[in-house]
Chain A
Amino acid sequence: MHAAAPAIEFRDVVAGYGEFMILNNLSLAARRGAITLLIGPNGAGKSTVLKTLFGLLKPRQGRVLLDGADVTGAAPKDLLAHGIAFVPQGRNLFPQLTVWQNLELGGITLGRRLTHARIPAVLELFPRVRERLHAQASALSGGEQKQLEIGRALLLQPKVLLIDEPSIGLSPLVVADVFRLLRRLAGEGTTVLMVEQNVKSALKVSDDAIALESGRLVLHKPAGELLADPHIERLFLGSAAAV
């Protein structure tokens, strides 16, 4: 690990699906222990950045670095070992399994003993989830499910947490809880890379913001600076370069 290197770095990354490239020579960097928010219009490549970083999509060109180490093309299993965890968009629990079983599955790369040792600390963060430990995951409310998903990722004690649209389908109160938790994690040294449509709320808890358009970086600024910009809406409608 290089202390001076950014926690996450993309160098001229090209990635996409089939013949269609979503990321076009994208270069970006995210600071260690900071929350970096990825914003941009639909199709800009925000979620693709997370998928590429997590190895679900192999880059066609370019390099992906974590703490200065080249992890280009590494499989998710290996990236988890590198200390990176991913909470994808939407509902990501296994509905037929109980809360406890979902947590156990989250620690599959840790082994049973270590997973069981870490579960109580994770449940401390989510008392409502703890109360429903033996309920089927499908019986949890949307907010509880999202908390469980995040808890499952935290079992790995990740250095880098990738989180895609955490507010989807959640009430404002639950979203505020999730954002508070992310802030706390960043305070403890976790690097958070987040994609979020609820831009104004997300900027309030973020340190940096990166705007993408057509798979390219068009802006990288401190989040507070961007929040103060009266033309902020352009960021998620496109034409961010004009901001």
Chain B
Amino acid sequence: MRTPLALAAGLAAAAALVALPHFLGRSGVYLLSYWVVFVVATMGLNLTVGYAGQKSLGHAAFFGIGAYTVAILMKAGLSFWLGLPLAALLCFASGIVVGFPALRVQAIYLAFATLGFNTAAWLFMRNEEWLTGGTFGIKDIARPSLFGVSFDGHRAYYYLCLAVAAILAALLYGLLRSPWGKAFTALRDNPIRAESLGVDVRGYTLLAFAIGAAYAGVAGALFAPLLEFIDPAPFSVGASIMMYLMVVVGGPGYFFGPMLGAAVGVVLPEWLRFAQDWYLFVFGAAVVLLMIWLPDGLLSIPGRLRARREARAASAARAAAAARLDGGGR
């Protein structure tokens, strides 16, 4: 019963995502594209943090590396279609390097190590003006075209982002359903247990960072032509914390968590603009309350409700059994 229902919900959501731009203005479609880009980035972070349990506060650095790779290569006259895989590849390699501290340290110490990496990468983007344009950034980043089809228009570019996100989501889904994907969860739950089953803890830890980083790289590669301009600001430590928040709010280790989390992180602040100067306060307060009541994220709600229902049923069954025993004793 749950599978057909989930399938119907999935198809409805996909249809809505395809149809939605036709009901939105330019800024609405831009916001939707922005959300899709962050879904891609946080899908990667969800693998690193949610499934593999590695605390990473450096995801925005990979996002930035992806964005700058595409921007720099396109400015050098290369195609976006070459820049995109190169951005993913570069981030994959950087992810392996950043993953090495995870073999030595865990939890908050690992978070600080990745935060250090983000700071260093951000300083590089800001200071190495000859390559990155420094605080002036890189402007006029063209949107790509493929086989004569231009993605220059805001709707066309949204569909490109959506297609890339769908492909990456399908790949991640396939990976997570395989025994190799389960190994990431094993790594998070108990590395010793995982090792006793033959899971290469070292390899999987590095892979969790590398794949997560590659997703951020692709997201960055889509981000640069979306804005048509990049500077170091969106790739700071603050952005990494925001991405982490998106994963946590959506539900770490839930496949659809990033979709919901990115919506909260990207769309909610826009909706809250009616509160004007207070919108950041309202957003912050909403997040605090959410973390208090739902520390496992929004997607933990169905599981919580189910657990509550089962506990209630078990209590009722116990009470009925006790009543039967009392009755039998008399």
The reply on B109 being an interface residue by CB < 8 A is: no
Q: Which residues of A contact B196 (CB under 8 A)?
A: 54, 56, 76, 86, 88, 92
Interface residues on B, range: 10 to 19
1/0 contact trace for B199-232 toward A, CB 8 Å? 1100000000000000000000000000000000
User: Are A76 and B195 in contact (CB-based, < 8 A)?
Assistant: yes
Interfacial residues, chain A to chain B (CB-CB below 8 A):
54, 56, 76-77, 80, 86, 88, 92, 94-97, 101, 104-109, 112, 115, 152
Knowing that A101-B182, A108-B180 are A-B contacts, what are 14 other residue pairs whose CB atoms are under 8 Å apart, sorted by A's residue number?
A56-B195, A76-B195, A76-B196, A77-B200, A88-B196, A92-B196, A96-B253, A104-B179, A105-B183, A106-B197, A108-B182, A108-B183, A108-B199, A109-B197
Q: Which residues of B contact A101 (CB under 8 A)?
A: 179, 182
Q: Among A105, A106, A107, which residue has the most Cβ atoms of chain B within 10 A?
A: A105
A76 and B197 alpha carbons, distance in the complex (Å): 8
User: Are A104 and B182 in contact (CB-based, < 8 A)?
Assistant: yes
Q: List 7 A-B contacts (CB under 8 A).
A: A77-B195, A88-B192, A96-B253, A97-B185, A101-B179, A104-B182, A105-B179
The reply on B178 being an interface residue by CB < 8 A is: yes
Closest Cβ neighbor of A156 among chain B residues: B198
The reply on B193 being an interface residue by CB < 8 A is: yes
Residue among B179, B185, B192, B253 making CB contact with A56, cutoff 8 Å: B192
Q: A83 to nearest B CB, angstroms?
A: 12
Q: B228 to nearest A CB, angstroms?
A: 43
Q: A54 to nearest B CB, angstroms?
A: 7
Q: Which residues of B contact A76 (CB under 8 A)?
A: 195-196, 198
User: Are A94 and B186 in contact (CB-based, < 8 A)?
Assistant: yes
1/0 contact trace for B160-204 toward A, CB 8 Å? 000000000000000000111011011001101101111110000
